[in-house]
Amino acid sequence: MHLADWLNTRSGIAHLYDVERAGYTSYAMRAAIADRRVRRIRRRWFATPAVPGNLLVAATLGARLSCLSAAAHFGLWHLDDGLLHLSVPPNAGHFDAGPHRAHWGRGPLPSPRFGLVEPLENALVHIADCQPFENALAVWESAQNRDAFSPDYLGGLKLRSAAANRVRSASTSLSDSGIETIPRVRLERLGIRVQQQVLVDGHRLDGLIGERLVLQIDGFAYHQAD
């Protein structure tokens, strides 16, 4: 398989370490570059035109996607703030993030040595530290709703961040998306308790306030399907 075709099975980019492990020789790398199907990024990264722009920026800057950018990569519900969020090794020297948002803190898991995306666990910590509480909670609950983590696993993570501990304590797996999480948080802030996923007459409700007031929240995707 041509190096470019192999790279395209890996989002269009890979580190030299993984390219060599896949069996590609120096000759194959030079040939792929010579026929312009592959280019080098920072000497040790190889990329094709198919590489997503955010991964290309991460490789160019020597960073990894984290926070909301990692949430988007993993397909989690989130409120996009228009920034590219990148994690930087705590022992790195001067780092010019330019228009992007840099995160320096450590997460509960080791970062992948040759990866361009932080583990989701680390990204969630960065989200808790970076975003407003209700927005961060929506992402954490999206992760639980999609079975990315079991409650026991999430509860067992060693979190040094006070903000992450606060979000973890408040998170559940009951919200289907952030459009259910955020209204619930805002109502509870007003002293209004919302029971989620309540079964009434055989129908599961998004929320129930008191004994009779039903809260049903449908997003654009739901109505777009009609």
Given this model, what pLDDT does residue 26 score? 96
Which positions of the chain have pLDDT values less than 70? 92-93, 205, 218-226
Tokens representing residue 198 in the block:
């309540």
Given this model, what pLDDT does residue 173 score? 77
Helix locations, the chain, DSSP H: 3-8, 16-21, 26-34, 53-61, 67-73, 120-130, 133-145, 151-156, 162-170, 178-189, 220-224
Given this model, what pLDDT does residue 190 score? 84
**CA 74 to CA 77: how far, in whole Å?**
9
Given this model, what pLDDT does residue 154 score? 87
Given this model, what pLDDT does residue 92 score? 66
Number of helices (H), then strands (E), belonging to the chain: the values are 11, 9
| DSSP, residue by residue, 180-202 | HHHHHHHHHHTT--EEEEEEETT
Q: Which residues pair with 65 in a beta bridge?
A: 86, 117
Given this model, what pLDDT does residue 221 score? 46
State pLDDT tens for residues 166-193: 999 998 877 777 888 888 888 888 888 8
